[in-house]
Structure 1
Amino acid sequence: MWELRHRGGGGPGPGGEAASPPREGEAAGGDHETESTSDKETDIDDRYGDLDSRTDSDIPEIPPSLDRTPEILKKALSGLSSRWKNWWIRGILTLTMISLFFLIIYMGSFMLMLLVLSIQVKCFHEIITIGYRVYHSYDLPWFRTLSWYFLLCVNYFFYGETLADYFATFVQREEQLQFLIRYHRFISFALYLAGFCMFVLSLVKKHYRLQFYMFAWTHVTLLITVTQSHLVIQNLFEGMIWFLVPISSVICNDITAYIFGFFFGRTPLIKLSPKKTWEGFIGGFFSTVIFGFIAAYVLSKYQYFVCPVEYRSDVNSFVTECEPSELFQLQSYSLPPFLKAVLRRETVSMYPFQIHSIALSTFASLIGPFGGFFASGFKRAFKIKDFANTIPGHGGIMDRFDCQYLMATFVHVYITSFIRGPNPSKVLQQLLVLQPEQQLNIYKTLKTHLTEKGILQPTLKV
């Protein structure tokens, strides 16, 4: 536990809670005056003290998480060493989570979006709770309430933008939604301003620095969780394959790096994560690239995975039906000379997406783990083993998705930079929302343009 360094004492006692202020007539330390019970401002100052004098060593140790391993597993594995017991617990829970993930994939795109949203909220809760345990010990107001308020505001902004982009035909039929979409950014800004003003009104004298620190904590948490989960959903709309291959590559790298490290690990990789080894890192890399290449080949065969996810107003549901693009059609590629001699063939047939999958899986295995290292540094800074104890043997949800958020950003940038072209369906949806006069002007402009290029024949004037 920690001790807060007041100039004359009076810091928090064991458990991280603030010690009671000195009673009237008692000395609060060599440099403190006797507390006046009628002076509320002095009472606040004495309660909070000089909080800005804290150093890293003053960070409170958060109590260790409770063990939530099911009793049936504890009994079944009671005879094993702690190392092998952890191995089996992690393995069983990993297979369970993968099975549930397959079930949600079968249930469709909408359920995957709900899953992403649920994970986002849980990750936000785990990170904010760490700050709240430090912050709440001073009984300062509004931090947790404002944190969740800002989460709602940011989600309202991002998902409102998604509603406007992908569900324009549905919005066009609902008059109330048209108003919300038209003024969406102004409403979002007004909601944020309300939270901003509430934060300013909650400031407590001699505690400003810590409160601004926690204000920044909330916003960085929002940046990590909400914006990244929004990018995950944007990737999903490009086609489920852009969601599944990157996520499964990170999962594969996490599992195979753990297995190689468990059995062959000898050389430490990074001080932030003492259990990570070079053997696990290298073994995970090659396994992930091979897995990504095979997964891309399997998924590219099915429209369900490769077609962009669209909302069809006529059937009132999401659909994944299309003519697959060239990215998901088999192509013949000439092999390099050294491979021709090994494979004894001139060409090989594969999907172009498989080449992209190599780039995705390479990032997942070489750069993705740095998201985990970042999370390890964060946990060490606050002297905790895991973000939470949601999943036995794994820690919290954030412990399992620390690499996924970094991967989501890369995939979004990759699609934008190398893959995505103009989306005719999205352009058409936006055109249908315009006023008739605007639609007519666009029609005339497009007709003139196509006529000048010789695609359309000029209309004869009578």
Structure 2
Amino acid sequence: MAGRMICQLILSLSFLCLVAPSPLNASPHKDLLHRGGALFGAPSNALRAPPQDPGVLGRISSRKGSWGTRVASTVTLLGLTAAMTYVGQRKGLELIVIGAQAGAYNEVAKLLDRGLSLPSSLPSRWLWFVLAFNTGHSWAYGETLMPSLLPSWLHWYWPGRRLVQYLAYVCLLGGSITPKGPGEQLQRQVAHLAGLHFALFLIVGLGSGYVAILKQWGVRPFLLSVLLVVVNDIGAYLVGVPLGKTPLTKLSPKKSWEGFWGAAVLTMASAPLLVRLLRTMLGPAPDDVPRALGGLLSLSDWQALILAAFASFGAPIGGILASAAKRATGTKDFGDSIPGHGGVMDRVDCQLFMSAFSYLFLSCSASPRTRE
């Protein structure tokens, strides 16, 4: 029953996020990004003045062409997500998060390979990911994560895992900085290594917070955090398309201040509503007891408002950072694995920052005893 309710919630609320055009914070300016630029050398005409404003109807109609593709890929993804959630429940959601991390990392790694004109090395690429995944979970998110993912015959490894992980890191790092060509080639190797480390920190380090939340507090805070970012994206689109006039940043000219503030208002207003929706779908949690403002708001409402504030003002930094990376490499999307949406990284950039904040905030404000 719980799995079926979770499926219904995912299908009814996440659908809006995935169908909405991306990027969602829209303003009248067209994308200034041009394909084909090399890393640290985007074409000089990338900062040309924006064209004339086509008007509200023109901006909306220009986005209708790809909606059929978006809807088809959305239905497919949501069907797979609902099936995995129904079969695996909490573990199914954990696998979805880990799969999204792997997909986003693969896209960024391929982008680095192309931008630096280096041959792709799949073994080393995925060795970095596996090592970062194990290290990130055990060092940053506690002892409760990895044992359940290991088969019983590997439990002997667990007490000394950090030493093994560190030695593996030293060996892999030593092999990665060995010169494989002239000085320019070495410069590209070092830039590639630095880029991989930064990508692993963002995607695996920050993104693993959602797995930790599922382990320690259950489905409710995970869905609340994800849906707050969803609402913020949708609100930015709904406000930014008709009202967007002032670009938020040159790095992402389709994001507007009007969309940013409108999304913040909608996200903050939706937080208590999402708490009640999750309570209706999943049943009351042990800490759902009115305590603040004479019983007008419960502890969960206060937590949701703080999470909503970060979803509005902190998580969008992930989208701006992703836009900067795409601008630097002269690409429009990180990939094309999701037809009509771009790549996995294009969909999870804001969720990475939300993931880490939600885990750290819940660590301060909630007890594992409130898990479902």
Amino acid at match of 2:337: T
Inter-partner Cα distance in structure 2 for 1:395 and 1:145: 25
Closer, same or farther in 2 for the Cα pair 1:148/1:167, shift >3 Å?
closer
Match 1:124 to one of 73, 84, 105: 105
What residue is the counterpart of 1:273 in the other structure? Answer: 252
CA 1:405/1:166 → structure 2, altered by over 3 Å: closer, same or farther? closer
- Residue of structure 2 equivalent to 1:195: 172
Distance 1:410-1:420 versus aligned 2 partners, 3 A rule: same
Report if the CA contact (8 A) 1:126-1:388 is conserved.
Answer: yes
Q: What letter matches 2:198 in structure 1?
A: V
Partners of 1:351 and 1:88 in 2: how far apart? 42
- What's the offset of the Cα at 1:110? 0.5
Which has more radius of gyration? 1
Pairs within 5 Å for 1:83-102: 83-86=63-66, 90=70, 93=73, 97=77, 101-102=81-82
> Residues 94 and 282 from structure 1, CA distance in 2 versus in 1: closer, same or farther, beyond 3 angstroms?
farther
Superposed, 1:6-405 pairs within 5 Å as: 56-57=40-41, 82-86=62-66, 90=70, 93=73, 97=77, 101-107=81-87, 108-135=89-116, 137=117, 143-159=121-137, 164-165=143-144, 174=152, 176-201=153-178, 203-206=180-183, 207-237=185-215, 238-300=217-279, 306=285, 324=286, 327-331=287-291, 333-334=293-294, 348=296, 350-405=297-352
Report the Cα offset of residue 106 of structure 1.
3.9
Counterpart contact for 1:268–1:278, Cα < 8 Å: yes
Cα pair 1:256 1:284 within 8 Å, conserved: yes
- Aligned residue for 1:274, secondary structure, equals strand
The residue type paired with residue 252 of structure 1 is: V
Q: What is the CA RMSD across the aligned residues, in angstroms?
A: 3.5
Of Structure 1 and Structure 2, the greater helix share is in 2
For 1:155 and 1:55, locate their aligned partners in 2 and report how far apart those are by CA, in whole Å.
Answer: 27
Asked whether the 8 Å contact 2:207–2:351 carries over to 1, the reply is no
**TM-score scaled by structure 2?**
0.74
Q: Do the aligned partners of 1:241 and 1:305 also contact (CA within 8 Å) in 2?
A: no
Q: Which amino acid aligns with 1:57?
A: G
Q: Measure the CA separation in 2 of the matches of 1:394 and 1:424.
A: 36
One-letter code aligned to 1:84: K
1:193 deviates by 2.5
Residues 304-350 of structure 1: per-residue CA shift (max 9 Å, x gap): 784xxxxxxxxxxxxxxxxx1xx32345743xxxxxxxxxxxx63x4
Checking the alignment, whether the CA contact within 8 Å between 1:158 and 1:230 is kept in structure 2 is: yes
Which amino acid is the alignment partner of residue 360 of structure 1? L
Instruction: Please say if residues 164 and 181 of structure 1, whose CA atoms lie closer than 8 Å, have aligned partners that are also in contact.
Output: no
> Residue 285 of structure 1: CA displacement?
1.4
The answer to whether the 8 A contact 2:317-2:350 is kept is yes
SS in 1 for 2:65: helix
> Unaligned stretches of 5+ in structure 2?
1-35, 46-59
3-state secondary structure, aligned to 1:276? strand
Contact 1:253 1:364 in 2 (8 A): yes
- 252 and 272 in structure 1: CA distance in 2 versus 1, 3 angstrom threshold: same
Distance 1:134 1:216 in 2: 14
How many residues end up aligned between the 2 structures? 318
Structure 1 residues 409, 235: closer, same or farther in 2, change over 3 A?
Answer: same
Judge conservation of contact 1:300–1:351 (CA < 8 Å) in 2.
Answer: no
